[in-house]
Chain A
Amino acid sequence: MPLVGFLFNGLGRNIWSKKVIAYKATGYIVMSFIFSILAFLNVQSSGPATVHYFDFINTAGFKIPFDLKVDALSSLFLLVITGVGSLIHLYSTAYMKEEEAPHYARYFAYLNLFVFSMLLLVLGDNYVIMFIGWEGVGLCSYLLIGYWFTNATYNYAAKKAFIMNRIGDLGFLLAIFWLIVKLGTVSYGTVLTAESLAKLSSSDITAITLLLFVGAMGKSAQIPLYTWLPDAMAGPTPVSALIHAATMVTAGIYMITRSNILFSASEFTQHVVAIVGISTALLSATIAIKQNDIKKVLAYSTVSQLGYMFLGLGVGAYSGAVFHVITHAFFKALLFLGAGSVIHAMHHEQDIRKMGGLKSKLPITHITFLIGCIAIAGVPPFSGFFSKDEILAAAFAKSPIYWALGVVGAAMTAFYMFRLYATTFLGQFRGTHDQEHHLHESPFAMTLPLILLAVASAIAGAIGVPELMGGHHWLSHQLAPIVGEAKEAGLSASTEWALMGVSVTIAVVALLIALSIYRKKADGEPQTALGKFLYNKWYIDELYETIILNPLNKFAGFLKEVVEKNIIDGAVNGTGKLVQYSARQIRLLQSGQVGYYILFMVLSMVLLFIFWFNDMTILKFFYKLTH
């Protein structure tokens, strides 16, 4: 136990300190990855461990300890965060090379702080510590998205990310208060037990879980709070990889999985989660089909994949959702870093219509990117297949409609990913001559992470091979202490095989269609009304602007210009004028000069004192004061 405590202490501190030099920053994350492996093994051999540092808040019988805990769930997240995190750090050392030294240092400091916050989030042993990490991640994303601070659009995107997250955070905060009122504590050890559950009425549970879900919506970019994530690609590309894959957006999944006992107790919330999840998955998949910015396609695909995870959470497939978090972390980090490599080679060109034919110029990037696309499209035996299939099977057990919608989404995923792949890597080069001349494969520090992630994307499915295929689903046994043994889906083997067959066939067909359309040419400007509608992202941003932002702004302006100036202050000044006016009428003080008023006041105060205390007490007072 003390050993584990020491390890985590060291881990937290190391990451916290701002290290100027890149290899140091990377080294610290790699070190924490090693610690994470040790912690993971420790959990395997001797079970969960809790470390108490100090009482964060302790007053009037109300106590929030600063405790960290590592158990099966958090140790898995630790591995993903620090593992993928180290690769992203390594990649960044090369990607950000052109930055000047102080900015380079700033970048890595933010990056380290980001990983620190995320670790705090998953290691905290109560909701308040989780909330600290939760907001910390929001802060870091704000800093990193707005990293190039001279660009107004980027700053706007950063601000949008923070504010949308804040809306979610408010929900989370209210859920915490609700727990405190009802249970007097926020520690997992007490809250997440059957006894506590018995103390809560069913409406309490529904309210708490819905509020928690609002928090998750913000952080994990679900409808209606998802629009910040696509804009978040304003940051440097490795940052997008970090936000989209290893950290931040998975926080919501982690939180709900952690609180699964509460969520399972509310049928209503589960339906809400599943419906929001599948709607988000479909909405963003349709948008991704028409985007031409390489990072934007990936961004919407993240939103869409997160939707799948929430669908999984909503239908009670907690370990399936976590499984998808893990595989998604690999292939999405891979895809973003691959995109970064392309952008790097293309001198900051992000429009895929101006690419094409990069296959031969960037061989490593090409192969690894292709692996990422296959993985996300859900083609067996790549990792995405296993995790997505687990979620879809659970969805089918709950309702075939969820399943059918999920398969439609999966088909779209295969389609837009291979549209992206084909437009970027196949066909003829469509950029400028100058760009073509300078095309080059990225340095080793960038391709190594790509290769490692590609390997992981290909084989990570092995940790969750269903029993149906002769595996024993290591992951779900691993998580059993947290989420309970996976419930029997109640599906016969033949049904499962059939479902799998249908979804894979549809995905492969979609993939082939995309390849055949886009291997020769890129999309032009959208022609049809539907095309424009999707290209403009359903006009959701515009909609928010018209129905929320503008009215709010107008309302604030109304308060400032009309209520404050005319009504409230007007009343005050009016009273003042009235007094002044009557004073004039009775001709007591005609001068109207402020000085006289004040003089009058001070004089009357002095007189008051003198008349009241005419036994020279004031003099005595000063006398006493000096003795």
Chain B
Amino acid sequence: MFLLLFLLIPIFAAIALLFIKKEQSVNLIAIGSGLLTLLGALHIILNKTGNYDASWLPILNSRFLLQADGLAKILILLTAISFPAIFIATSHNQTNQKNVFLSLMLLTQAGLMGVFLAGDALLFYFFWELALIPVYFLCSIWGGEKRITVTFKFFIYTFLGSLFMLIGIILLYSNTADHSFLIESLKHANVSPAQSATAFALFFIAFAIKMPIFPLHTWQPDAYEQSPTAVTMVLSAVMVKMGLYGIIRWLMPLFPTAFLAHANLVIILSVIGILYASFIAIRQDDMKRLIAYSSIAHIGLMNAALFTHNQVGIQGAFIQLFSHGVNVLGLWIIADVIEQQTGTRSMKALGGIAKKQPTLAILLVGFAFANIALPLTNAFIGEFLMFNSLFQFNPWIAAAAGVSVVLAAIYTLNMVQKVAYGEVSEATHLMTAPNKNAQGVLIVLLVIVFVTGVYPQPLFDVTADTLKQLFVK
């Protein structure tokens, strides 16, 4: 029953927001609901929770089953941290019809929570779409100049992907003995190897678009750039995790044979994507696009690690799902503060922030080094384990992917240098008082970066049960 709260709190808050106009109370409600969810997330991490199971669409024998294992918990925690962090950090931003904006954001949160909690394939699909639709409206109404074409591309892309997944679900479902959408039943669906491979492909395309995997990624930098930054934060800190989560939750248990059979292909694609995105990141001038490509590279590594089917590597990916969310959120908040105060994201036009706002510059340097996985930051743990598994899979592939470690240093330090160092530029001259809210959030996030980087064991412990479940024969 408790798990239902993760859906109800944001939905109720979203409905309430539609009737309130005053900006201060709008912010307060959004932040309050976010913090409440965060408390709930901490509760389920520290305590055992039961499933929530109710009948839903009985004619199809689909169930409203919510369950939370370690992996789900950690992603719920990430979602629950991200939303209030975003609300607080962007609370000063000028937004038209802020109540509707935040209401849609909260709906997205509910959708995301549902995705991570759903134990029934149809329910999973339902939430998968629920998370997407508000984002579409957010982008197309509040986005940048090219928002219409860009969000259209984004929407068509991911919608197409989810349709594939739906077909895959139905394919499996129609072959189950008890006509059920539950994981256990789908796992034992009576399908031929060919059918199984088809369903695998259908699922994989949906997840691959969402992550995204090279060469299905072109919607992402555009969407990140054109979306309002609050939405970009949601997209890249949490939403891309839906694809990776889908792989762990559905692809691995449902198609063990096809999974291993396609490992080579997927890993090679991922590694190409890692290098490709890293190279492109070197040449970006727009901060948002740089972070977007850097994120594509990181996600590619996680995907590759999952497909090595190596316990240690998958554990690394679990940790990285969380860590990447925290780090990229930090970078986006910094990019947003800078854009709000200077009116530009072009790194050429920036510079001298270390002089103008030393605290912000220090935070930027902190997150930059987390982004390149310096030891004792959270990302090192995950990347170390993932590269290790990749090395066991094939040393040459690991070495190739390892080049991204150097490339990441190049583009990240380039960014730090152009944005923070040097003389104060015309644009940064405009920077006024530091944004205290954003800085507060950033400090909290940076503490998480270092604490989980020095002592990651709690993260391992939380996700241990999922790992065990995956490798139980």
Contacts and interface: CB of A to CB of B under 8 A. Distances in A.
Interface string B20-59: 0000000000000000000000000000000000111111
Given A57-B381, A57-B456, A60-B467, A174 B399 contact: yes
B460 A556 contact: no
Interface string B402-441: 1101100110011001001111000000000000000000
Contacts of B464: 59
A102 B357 CA distance: 13
Contact of B409 (A166, A177, A180, A601): A166
B133 interface: yes
Given A576-B156, A597-B152, A621 B282 contact: no
A177 B422 contact: no
Contacts of A163: 406, 409-410, 413
A598 B422 contact: no
User: Which one of B219, B365, B409 has the greatest number of beta carbons of chain A within 10 Å?
Assistant: B409
Given A58-B457, A159-B417, A166-B409, 11 more contacts: A59-B312, A59-B464, A59-B467, A146-B421, A173-B387, A173-B402, A173-B405, A560-B280, A576-B156, A617-B58, A624-B64
B378 interface: no
A174 B398 contact: yes
27 contacts: A57-B384, A57-B460, A59-B312, A128-B384, A132-B376, A135-B374, A139-B374, A143-B365, A150-B355, A162-B413, A166-B405, A166-B409, A169-B405, A173-B405, A174-B399, A177-B392, A177-B398, A178-B395, A180-B391, A181-B392, A557-B283, A560-B284, A564-B218, A605-B129, A613-B57, A617-B58, A621-B56
Contacts of B283: 553, 556-557, 559-560
B276 interface: yes
B340 interface: no
A601 B159 contact: yes
Interface string B369-384: 1000011100001001
Contacts of B352: 150
Nearest to A605: B129
Interface residues of A, number: 63
Nearest to A564: B280
B387 A60 contact: no
A62 B375 CA distance: 18
Interface in A159-190: 159, 162-163, 166-167, 169-170, 173-174, 177-178, 180-181
A143 B354 CA distance: 13
User: Which one of B157, B376, B392 has the greatest number of beta carbons of chain A within 10 Å?
Assistant: B376
Contacts of B190: none
B315 interface: yes
A569 to B, nearest CB: 4
A572 interface: yes
Nearest to A554: B283
Report, nearest first, the 10 A-B pairs whose CB atoms are least far apart.
A177-B391, A132-B375, A60-B311, A149-B421, A569-B218, A556-B279, A617-B57, A166-B409, A59-B460, A560-B283
Contact of B59 (A128, A162, A617): A617
B358 A102 contact: yes
Given A102-B358, A576-B153, A615-B59, A556 B417 contact: no
Interface in A537-591: 552-553, 555-557, 559-560, 563-564, 568-569, 572-573, 576
Given A146-B421, A559-B280, A166 B406 contact: yes
Nearest to A139: B374
Contacts of B365: 143
B369 A170 contact: no
Interface string B341-364: 000000000001011001000000
A60 B315 contact: yes
Given A60-B312, A166-B406, A624-B54, A598 B387 contact: no
A612 B169 CA distance: 15
Contacts of B133: 602
Given A58-B457, A572-B153, A174 B315 contact: no
A136 B376 contact: yes
A58 B311 CA distance: 12
User: Which one of A55, A136, A155 has the greatest number of beta carbons of chain B within 10 Å?
Assistant: A155
B405 A170 contact: yes
A177 B280 contact: no
A261 B420 CA distance: 45
Nearest to B423: A150
B396 to A, nearest CB: 11
Interface string B93-118: 00000000000000000000000000
A234 to B, nearest CB: 13
Interface in B119-160: 129, 133, 136, 140, 148-149, 151-153, 155-157, 159
A91 interface: no
